[in-house]
Structure 1
Amino acid sequence: MSHDTSHPAAPFRPRLNLVWMLAAGLFAGFVALTIGDKSAKILLVAPLAFLGLAAAIRFPLIALAGLTVMIVTNMSQNLIVAFDLPSTAKLAAPGLFALLAARFLLYQERPYIAWVAILSLTAFFALKLFSATYAARWELSLNLSIDFAKDALVALLALAFMSQRRGIETITTSAALAVAAICALGIYQIVFGNMMAGFHGFAVVIANSGRFSGPLGDANFFACIIVFTIPLALFQLLNARNALSGLGWAIVSGLLIAGLLATQSRGGLIGLAVALLVLGTGLTLRQVLSFGVIGVVTVLLVATVASDELIQRFATILGTVSEGELDTSTEGRLASWQVALELFKEHPVLGVGIGNFNSYYQNMALELGLIFRGEGRSTHSLYLEILTEQGLVGLLLMGAILFVAARSIIGAVRFANGIGEVRLARHLTAFGAGLAGYLAAMTFLQDSFPRFLWLVIAVALEAEWILRYHYAGSPFLSGRPRVLRSRNVS
């Protein structure tokens, strides 16, 4: 299977373009009325949606950026709750498909087919679906498997847009800027003491704890997304082409770091440490020195403005490691982990079924004499969740997927360096650092907000092949690539 990117096909005549754009707009409206809310509110946003669709047909990376922003801001859920608007999430898959079809009809542009991601996500979905055959609550396993399939489909449709040269950069930059904007709203509330507004759910600060939970309603999960974006913003700062760009990315980096601290997420802080260690492997000596200066300034600022409660909360990480001191949160998490390990011992091969951990928690916790909770608990660890609910088979499959993803990123970095795309190689290193930090933070969190996580894992799985698609003409080229074009694309 080869892809010739050196001679793109000429577009159709302008008048015919307009006809197809109108047809695509009508199709999207029909889908919206069919599967969405049929109230008059949809008519109010229809003109904006139509203009967005027309722009995305001409500039498809707009759609990819919009999808990324929609996911990291939890836009669909927040718009439903705050304004009773139709679900934009339901329109994501048909909308992306319509855009891909329009691009093919108008420009004969074939979508990127992500074979590695397709095989990986299909295998993981099949194992999830199979768990419904033996789970005690099989309906829950079935529903969660279907939810995963939806997330996987969105990820694969997003990857189809990687036929565009700047696809990966669009996802990373859109995520960093959107999350930084949310962090700015959260910091505004914390500084001025207005913690009840929450900007219609997009930047919530929990009043009783003061923790910043962003648009997800959970500070720890939002911290994971922030961790992913910080290395990407630091990459842009350290590789800024001019002073104005450097200033802009310095502000973005500061907002992201401040937002992460405002979440008060200890798992997020550990994830950030991992991300920064990985990021350091792709820095020059000058950048390492600049990075050190940024770190010292950040620490001094945090020590100056941070509250005693915040410093004390993060200090419990050292207390737990060095002296074994446990607060209530840590004690509850360790109890969940112990129950998960006991359930794994009883169901080692295939686990207890997707979503079935908390059905077993109470009885197992009482048997073990652990901390009692009035409701079912989660595993508080992505990897223990997979081990408990999908068994050793599931954990090995997840490990294989992450191994292939890591190898793909490393291969992409080497490929970029080999063709002289040094800046692109550094960008991919920052992407890998963000994903490593994200995955490290998920050691302490279950899989409750998976759509963005699986999107970036899917991109990682395809990273090397995407570069080969654009720079060597074939995603399955072996040996040293034959370069068609070599220029900075970051």
Structure 2
Amino acid sequence: MTAVVALGGGLVLVALLVLALVRPEVALLALVGLDVSNLNQVVADQVGVSPYRPLLLLALVALFVLLRRRRLVLRWSPVTLGLLVLFAGFCASLFGAADPAASQELLVSRARDLLYYLVVLGLVVSLRRVVTLAQVVVLVLAGLAGLTVVHEYLLGNSGDLFGLSRVPLVQEGGASTPRHAGTSSDVNFWARLLILVTPLALSLWAGAGRWRPRVVWAGCVLALLLGVYLTQSRGGFIALFVGLVTWLLLAGGRYRRSVLLLPVLLVVLVPLSGIGSRLLTLTAVTSSSTATADPSVVTRQRLQIDAWHMFLDRPLTGHGIGSYGTLFPRYDRLADYYTPVDIVVAAHNFYLEQAADGGVVLLLAWLVFAGTVLFAALRSRAVALRAGRTAEALLAVGVVAGVIGWAVASVFLHLSDFRAVLVVAALAAALDLRAAEQPAAAVAAPVAPVPHRRLAVAGWAALAVAAAVGCVTAASASSTVWTSTSALAVVTARSGDPSTSYQLDVVTRGQIVPTLTAVVQRSSSLDDLAAAGAPADVLTVDADQSRLGGAVVVRVSAASAEAADGAAAAAVRLATQRVSALQEDYVLRGEPAPAEARTPVARWLAAPLGLLAVAAAALAVRTGRRRDDRPEPVTGTLVPQGRRSS
């Protein structure tokens, strides 16, 4: 059976390769359609191999074919700049990463996603398939959403239809139906993905000229709306509403006026659909007692509080991308022991997750990326409206509304569908580049004046300098440091006496552990360690209160594992002796922890940062040399619409 599947898969790949050589758009549509819809994972679950990488290689072959045919078009876009800034934010989070291995692995994955975006954008712009790409994305996801509707109302949710319609949650508080996850493993992620493309389906419906395409796109809109409903996602309902209102407001005309009918529609729809009872379960976040609250909401609140505390500890660059799971046991007061977490250990809030992982720097990088996507889409909308291309303007509106809906849904979810967002970003960039190709008579936009150009040059130069500094830092600060982190519990000297229960409550009585921490800190300098027999190559030593609140954490760093272990033993010995010498009721209990390797910065990060510095410097030079003259006036006579010369 395995041989048959392998043979069939090989034949399919050969057929796709031939099609990619003849019709390069096949590679683009197959790559995006299977990836955005998560069908790659479904295939991997069924046959054991994901077609994603072969399809990405096929798309690269298609780019080479276009290059050989002299049809390859490479254009610069503000969205590409925003994505590079975001990648630089990912790199910055690795400075002092709590889990360097996990952070570097995720950074490599993000680099592959960057390649994915560049391939998709290159194919879309070269082949001029912006509308076709949007249509394929909508058709595939609407088809899968319609399959969940059939699964619910006609098949009684039997099986999972080979992984195409999963129903992981049959019963949950306030839910009116079993919760469908489509091809995803999580119902909320599936809802956010559908919300991202629902405004695009609305744009295709509103921009269709004939009645038959309008019927098809109307069916897609209905399937997507029902698909979101079957997820029973509370955040999804809120995000869908915001996204639809945004689309109506930006679409203008009768669509904008229909916003006035929304209150009447909600009064009828919310009680009949049962959405109201589902949304009421969110009141757990404001309830004074969590005994009767929705457990999932209470757990998410607990996870988000820990993410907030992580951000407060390292607000500038965070703890490193992908480090939340590693740090969670250190920050959670329940420590996953008394009350284990029964959902995925993640922040379940995109913004808190990025703040904990990358701090303010990464949040600003995400803001730049999202701003460039919205800017490109809105600019293309304005240009298309002036040129009378209503369908393109509506497609840009769909991109804006989809991104805003995704952003609202992300208040309740962490990042999971990055490549789907990159596809929408590529659509925004392609629409913007297409608008820039229109004749000057249709789009009479003046060249930026000198002050604005100087500001742009200064911005590019600043980015080049920052990237160059990061490149030098990555190339010179890559030595491995060994760190021992020992947690010493604060306990009473009379631990067997039941009368010491009050003294054991060192967390609520908040002055005890900080006081002992200060005592340990002042008696554990480098000179103190040297006097206690610690090795000479100790780099740093410090003491701090544990995140759980009831222990003193002693950290020692050295250039070698042997030195760090010896220094840790000396530091723990000094700390316990100093606290015991106080002749108080408290002592420290604990053993020195073995040293672990910490690599502050990976040397290979110098390469992408260096490329970013060179690109920013080149753009600064190009912007500075740009001529400031306005376009030459178009010669000849422009014939107004509605009047033709004989």
- Per the shorter chain, which TM-score range? 0.7 to 0.9
CA distance, structure 2, for counterparts of residue 471 and residue 165 of structure 1? 19
Aligned counterpart in structure 2 of residue 415 of structure 1, from 383, 395, 402: 383
Aligned pair partner of 1:76 in 40, 44, 47: 40
Superposition pairs for residues 30-179 of structure 1, below 5 Å? 41-84=5-48, 86-105=49-68, 107-164=69-126, 166-179=128-141
Separation in 2, partners of 1:196, 1:438: 30
Please state how far the C-alpha of 1:296 moved relative to its aligned partner. Answer: 6.7
> Which one-letter code corresponds to 2:213 in the other structure?
S
8 Å CA contact retained: 2:93, 2:362: no
Which residue of structure 1 aligns with residue 174 of structure 2? Answer: none
Correspondent of 2:164 among 202, 206, 216: 202
Q: How does 1:37-436 map to 2 (within 5 A)?
A: 41-84=5-48, 86-105=49-68, 107-164=69-126, 166-206=128-168, 208-209=170-171, 210-288=178-256, 304=272, 306=273, 311-317=276-282, 326-366=293-333, 372-374=339-341, 377-436=345-404
Do the aligned partners of 1:116 and 1:462 also contact (CA within 8 Å) in 2?
no
Identify the match of residue 419 of structure 2 among 443, 447, 451.
451
Task: Measure, in 2, the Cα distance between the counterparts of 1:97 and 1:471.
Answer: 31
The separation in 2 between residues aligned to 1:289 and 1:410, in whole angstroms, is 20
* DSSP-derived class of the 2:58 partner: helix
SS at match of 1:212: coil
Q: What TM-score do the two structures reach when normalised by structure 1? A: 0.80
Q: Which moved more, 1:160-169 or 1:245-254?
A: 160-169
Whole-Å separation in 1 of the counterparts to 2:72 and 2:437: 12
Measure how far apart 1:112 and its partner are: 2.9
More helix by share: 1
Alignment check: 8 A CA contact 2:157 2:167 kept: yes
CA distance in 2, matches of 1:322, 1:422: 48
Deviations 1:30-86 (A, max 9, x none): xxxxxxxx96634323333333333344443333222221112212221121133x3
Q: Gaps spanning 5+ residues in structure 2: where?
A: 172-177, 449-629, 635-646
Q: Identity over the aligned pairs, expressed in percent?
A: 23
- Flag the 1:358–1:324 CA change in 2: closer, same or farther, 3 A: same
Q: Is the 8 A contact 2:318 2:355 kept in 1?
A: yes
Contact 1:129 1:141 in 2 (8 A): no
Q: TM-score, normalised by structure 2?
A: 0.62
Aligned to 2:319, the other structure's residue is in SS state: coil
Assess if the C-alpha contact under 8 Å between 1:112 and 1:161 holds in 2: no
Alignment check: 8 A CA contact 2:179 2:187 kept = yes
Bigger relative contact order, structure 1 or 2, given CA contacts below 8 A and separation 6+? 1
Structure exhibiting the larger radius of gyration computed from Cα positions:
2
- Could you tell me how far 1:143 is from its partner in structure 2? 0.8
Distance (Å, rounded) in 1 between the aligned partners of 2:368 and 2:117: 19
Q: Deviations over 1:260-301 (max 9, x none)?
A: 010011111121122112212233433346677799779857
As a proportion of its length, which structure holds more strand?
Answer: 2
Q: Which residue of 2 aligns with 1:488?
A: none
Stretch deviating more after TM superposition (379-388 or 45-54)? 45-54
Distance 2:263 2:388 in 1: 30
SS at match of 2:181: strand
Amino acid at match of 1:61: E
User: Aligned partners of 2:263 and 2:27: how far apart in 1?
Assistant: 35
**Which secondary structure does the structure 2 equivalent of 1:234 belong to?**
helix
Alpha-carbon distance in 2 for matches of 1:367, 1:298: 41
Give the deviation of 1:347 after TM superposition.
Answer: 0.7
Cα displacement (A) at 1:316: 3.1
1:66–1:112 Cα change, 3 Å: same
Structure 1 position 374, deviation (Å): 3.9
Residues 285 and 301, structure 2, Cα contact 8 Å, conserved in 1? no
Amino acid aligned to 2:277: Q
Maintained 8 Å contact 2:98/2:323: yes
Provide the rounded CA distance (Å) in 1 between the counterparts of 2:335 and 2:159.
43
Alpha-carbon distance in 2 for matches of 1:477, 1:91: 45
Identify which range, 365-374 or 237-246, moves more after superposition: 365-374
Q: How many residues align?
A: 440
The letter of the residue matching 1:225 is L
Provide closer, same or farther for how the CA distance between residues 427 and 292 of structure 1 changes in structure 2, counting only shifts above 3 A: farther
Q: Could you tell me which residue of structure 2 aligns to residue 3 of structure 1?
A: none
Amino acid at match of 1:314: L
Distance 2:237 2:288 in 1: 19
Q: How many Å separate the matches in 2 of 1:379 and 1:290? A: 37
1:336–1:377 contact (8 Å) kept in structure 2? yes
Structure 2 distance, partners of 1:371, 1:327, is 19
* CA contact 2:193–2:417 (8 Å) conserved in 1: no
Which digits, 9 at most, give the CA deviation of each residue in 1:219-278, with x for residues without a partner? 111111111121122223333322222222222111111100100111111211221122
Could you say if the C-alpha distance between residues 316 and 39 of structure 1 is closer, same or farther in structure 2, counting changes exceeding 3 Å?
A: same
| Structure 1 residue runs without a partner (length 5+) | 1-37, 484-490
SS at match of 1:366: coil
In structure 1, C-alpha distance between the alignment counterparts of 2:43 and 2:212, rounded to whole Å: 34
1:409–1:428 Cα contact (<8 Å) kept: yes
**Aligned Cα RMSD in Å?**
3.4
